[in-house]
């Protein structure tokens, strides 16, 4: 019987070089809110989402492509951009058929780091597309890195919980010799029944709820409400049609 | 009422610069086995323990001071040194009154990193001195960083469980806005009743048990069996007599 592939959980972008990225599918996880917003825009018919690090790039690419530009800092739309980071800003009657150029801090950074290290595939995950991520990984027969984007390189719970949700579903397909993964699964099992209560204890909830974003945050931990698989191809995230 | 001091948990030495080390007590945690062995040697009457990074330093300092030299790689005593990293090697009838020069990888590295960043105090913790660590921190009225040494910079569960054990006892004295700390406490609460069983699931257990060290590892997660407080002063760890 061939050996199962491996699964690891990355707790901070700062630790990425400790893992064998170049033979792995890397799942970019930024629950609050980049990867929740990306999958929502794509689920609602966006043609593609281009994640960029800098505001100037966002404006330039938006102008060149006639695309929607979006990004926030401290809960407010960045000057020069059109929209924010909330998944609620991208309903079908607005975003269908359009290209979204999105600048975020943590998720975008990890995505580009994974590309720079030649990940064999880069996809994005959050609770709204939990099943799509699990289905894809379970059938991939490839090594997996569940990449938590963290917050300014610090460990965060919401990304870890999502990693744990994935592990709970697909662990039988993988060899898991990874304390981060054991922990992530434990944390998800411990809190999955009361996730809307538990998530309010996290540092990121406090930070973002201060901007009046509670509804956004509850949406971001709701499973399978935008259940498509964003995959990175030709410099953009598009829906995987497999 | 004056504000309480802060408490953070560091999950990997790689993340140390994200925290304000220079106004904090840093607790070096390397459960398997550096900080378990250090506290055992001191509890059994060692005059001091000098933690060094390199084997050559270990030999040179040992010769200069007429001290016991110790260090392992891959479960075997390093060539040129006299003893290993097992706490069982340092009973009172051997180590009392002596100086131990110890080279380890993860714990020693983090200790020197904390010193380089001007930590206001550096102490060491592991389950054998859990209460001594908690008593000291609870009465300190200073900011705390619980520093998990990890394994080659990767997150590990045994150090995290010890951080969680400390947090469980002293959290009321501190402000804790730190997802790593919330997670560590959850993991400890989840597994404290069956720690000897749970610890066998960790990656480090598997690595070290392969060298026949099960008894050592069980000792390292046993609370208060060597309950003194190692504090770093004048280039060595000594028992704090406060």
Could you give the percent of chain B with pLDDT greater than 90?
90
Rg (CA), chain B: 17
Residue A22 has pLDDT above 70, yes or no: yes
- How many angstroms separate the CA atoms of B178 and B10, rounded? 10
Residue B60 has pLDDT above 70, yes or no: yes
Q: Which backbone phi and psi does A212 adopt, to 5 degrees?
A: 80, 30
β-pair partners for B51:
B102
Residue A226 has pLDDT above 90, yes or no: yes
Residue of A nearest to B191 (CA): A186
Count of domains in chain A?
A: 1
CATH of residue A65's domain is 3.90.1560.10
Could you give the percent of chain A with pLDDT greater than 90?
90
Could you list the residue range(s) of the whole structural domain that residue A225 is in?
7-239
Peptide bond into B33 cis (omega under 30): yes
For the segment B229-238, the average pLDDT, to the nearest whole number, is 97
Burial B109-139 (b: 16+ CB within 10 A, else e): bbbbbbeebebebbbbbbbbbbebbbbbbbe
Predicted ipTM? Answer: 0.96
User: pLDDT-derived band of residue B230, with 50, 70 and 90 as boundaries?
Assistant: very high
Residue of B nearest to A204 (CA): B179
Tell me the residues of A at the B interface, defined by beta carbons under 8 Å apart. Answer: 11-12, 14-15, 18, 152-157, 160, 177-180, 182-183, 186-187, 190, 201-204, 206
- How many angstroms separate the CA atoms of B39 and B240, rounded? 11
What per-residue confidence (pLDDT) applies to B1?
Answer: 64
User: pLDDT-derived band of residue B206, with 50, 70 and 90 as boundaries?
Assistant: confident
Tokens, residue A52: 């960029």
**Cα torsion at B109, B111, B117, B118 (round to 10°)?**
-160
Residue B137 included in any domain: yes
Residue B153 included in any domain: yes
- CA dist B63 → B69, B82, B91, B108 (Å): 9, 11, 22, 20
What per-residue confidence (pLDDT) applies to A194?
Answer: 96
Residue A242 has pLDDT above 80, yes or no: no
Nearest CA distance, B230 vs chain A (angstrom): 28
pTM listed for this prediction? 0.96
Residue B48 included in any domain: no
Judge contact between A97 and A42, C-beta under 8 A: no
For the segment A190-203, the average pLDDT, to the nearest whole number, is 94
- How many angstroms separate the CA atoms of A226 and A49, rounded? 15
Q: What is the pLDDT of residues A126-136, one digit of tens each?
A: 999 999 999 99
* Run of H or E residues at B233: strand B230-233
For the segment B7-26, the average pLDDT, to the nearest whole number, is 97
Residue A2 included in any domain: no
Residue B46 included in any domain: no
Residue of B nearest to A202 (CA): B179
- How many angstroms separate the CA atoms of A222 and A93, rounded? 22
What per-residue confidence (pLDDT) applies to B61?
Answer: 97
Query: Would you call B155 and A187 a contact, using CB atoms and an 8 Å cutoff?
Result: no
Peptide bond into A33 cis (omega under 30): yes
Could you give the percent of chain B with pLDDT greater than 70?
99
Helix then strand then coil, in percent of chain B rounded to 5, is: 45, 20, 30
Tell me the residues of B at the A interface, defined by beta carbons under 8 Å apart. Answer: 11-12, 14-15, 18, 152-157, 160, 177-180, 182-183, 186-187, 190, 201-204, 206
Residue B40 included in any domain: no
Q: What is the DSSP string of A133-190?
A: HHHHHHTT-SEEEEEE-TBTTB--HHHHHHHHHHHHHHGGGSB---HHHHHHHHHHHH
Residue B168 included in any domain: yes
Q: What is the pLDDT of residues A134-187, one digit of tens each?
A: 999 999 999 999 999 999 999 999 999 999 999 999 999 999 999 999 999 999
Average pLDDT score over chain B: 95
Residue B78 included in any domain: no
């Amino acid at each position: 019987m061939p050996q199962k592939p491996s699964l690891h959980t990355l707790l901070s972008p700062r630790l990425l070089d400790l893992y064998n990225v170049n033979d792995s599918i890397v799942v970019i996880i930024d629950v609050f809110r980049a990867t929740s917003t990306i999958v929502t825009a794509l689920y609602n018919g966006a043609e593609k989402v281009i994640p960029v690090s800098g505001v100037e790039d966002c404006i330039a690419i938006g102008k060149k492509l006639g695309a929607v530009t979006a990004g926030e800092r401290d809960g407010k739309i960045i000057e020069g951009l059109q929209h924010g980071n909330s998944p609620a800003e991208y309903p079908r009657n607005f975003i269908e058929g359009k290209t979204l150029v999105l600048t975020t801090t943590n998720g975008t950074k990890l995505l580009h780091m994974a590309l720079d290290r030649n990940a064999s595939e880069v996809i994005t995950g959050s609770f709204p597309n939990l099943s799509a991520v699990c289905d894809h990984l379970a059938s991939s027969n490839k090594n997996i890195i569940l990449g938590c984007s963290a917050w300014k390189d610090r460990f965060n719970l919401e990304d870890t919980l999502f990693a744990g949700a994935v592990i709970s579903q697909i662990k039988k397909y993988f060899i898991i010799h990874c304390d981060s993964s054991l922990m992530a699964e434990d944390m998800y099992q411990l809190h999955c029944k009361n996730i809307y209560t538990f998530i309010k204890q996290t540092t990121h909830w406090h930070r973002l709820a201060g901007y009046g974003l509670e509804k956004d945050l509850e949406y971001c931990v709701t499973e399978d409400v935008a259940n498509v698989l964003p995959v990175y191809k030709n410099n953009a995230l598009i829906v995987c049609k497999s």
